Amino acid sequence: KVSHPIVSTDGNVSFIYSDTSGIFMPAIKHWAGISKGDHIGDILDPLSGAVEQEIFAPCSGIVFTLREYPVVYEGSLLARILGGC
């Protein structure tokens, strides 16, 4: 079966960044279809395990980039959603 490429432009890709440092724990899988407001994951305090930031989808679309390396700093890219906001 031949797969066709997904063409994206800057206008239809949403970038999700961390507001704080910690450990990113995704709640979804790569290539997941999501709706606006869906839970993408959490950033945890590495010492206490407390949730420092909950990450929610700002729009509906397909998660075509999802951070795998768990250590994040403020401003780290967590995900990209094809669908735009």
> Mean pLDDT in runs of 10 for the chain (85 residues)?
74 92 97 95 97 97 94 97 82
- Residue 78: per-residue pLDDT: 98
For residue 52, list its beta bridge partners: none
- Residue 84: per-residue pLDDT: 67
DSSP class of 28: S
* Helix count and strand count (H, E) for the chain: 0, 8
**19-82 — its CATH code?**
2.40.50.100
The upper half-sphere exposure of residue 53, i.e. CA atoms within 13 Å in the direction of its Cβ, equals 20
In Å, how far are 9, 12, 66, 74 from 43, measured between CA atoms? Answer: 28, 25, 14, 10
Please tell me the pTM assigned to this model. Answer: 0.86
Contact yes or no for 56/35 (Cβ under 8 A): no
